[in-house]
A and B are shown apart, each in its own frame.
Chain A
Amino acid sequence: DQQVKQNSPSLSVQEGRISILNCDYTNSMFDYFLWYKKYPAEGPTFLISISSIKDKNEDGRFTVFLNKSAKHLSLHIVPSQPGDSAVYFCAASARAGNQFYFGTGTSLTVIP
């Protein structure tokens, strides 16, 4: 039972344009969300987080939006750069829990 879903396995974007990666979740108890970036043969690298008390968090070119009523979050990267090409995972946890639940990832390719 996948509690965190990333329905787009892959995404291609032109350099300089906006990349939008989406993530849906089913558990209304989730209150903390993370995005990770993963290059081949490396572990996931933390990118940005958001708590359920906010609906937006921004860090440089990366912005995460949270829509609690829709149980949906998205990661916006603007402008996209070729070095952003990687697999992006969203993850969610509940304050009462200890583990994070991960989506299956979206492979982003930024075309120069």
Chain B
Amino acid sequence: GAGVSQSPRYKVAKRGQDVALRCDPISGHVSLFWYQQALGQGPEFLTYFQNEAQLDKSGLPSDRFFAERPEGSVSTLKIQRTQQEDSAVYLCASSLLPARTQYFGPGTRLLVL
């Protein structure tokens, strides 16, 4: 497709459940980013990949969060044993070059009950 796509768009999980969020970046974009956006806030950085290498995961809030991009294209953000505070919109973005214009997907809205 022409843009970044994410699935699912909405996810409701029971506390303690594991979830997996998928991101398909723009074809040819080597850099891929995950952000978490809480209500009324701006996106906050979680992690960054250059091709298949995870170069920065300093924003992951706990070891329950795990991201991978095994073939340098599609990426998955996994959250284990979800907690209510994990409820947020999870945004994926890709860019042709690091630290330059990022293009965002529509996000996955996660609600943990």
A binds B: yes
| B65 interface contact, C-beta 8 A | no
Q: Please, how many residues of chain B have a CB less than 8 angstroms from a CB on the other chain?
A: 29
Smallest CB gap from A97: residue in B? B99
- Answer whether residue B101 sits at the interface, using C-beta atoms and an 8 A cutoff: yes
Compute the total of residue contacts between A and B using a CB distance below 8 Å: 65
A45 and B98 contact, CB distance less than 8 A = no
B residues in contact with A96, CB < 8 Å: 99
| Any B CB within 8 A of the CB of A42 | yes
Q: Assuming A34-B101, A95-B99, is B106 touching A42 (CB within 8 A)?
A: yes
Apart from the given pairs A32-B100, A42-B106, 15 other A-B contacts in the complex at a CB distance below 8 Å? A6-B42, A43-B104, A44-B91, A46-B101, A93-B99, A94-B99, A98-B31, A98-B33, A98-B55, A100-B33, A100-B99, A100-B102, A101-B45, A103-B42, A104-B41
Supposing A42-B106, A43-B104, A45-B104 touch, asked if A102 and B99 sit within 8 A by C-beta, the answer is: no
- Please give the distance in Å from B40's CB to the nearest CB on chain A: 7
Task: Show 12 A/B contacts (Cβ-Cβ < 8 Å), sorted by A.
Answer: A32-B99, A43-B91, A43-B93, A46-B102, A49-B101, A89-B43, A94-B99, A98-B33, A98-B99, A100-B33, A101-B45, A105-B40
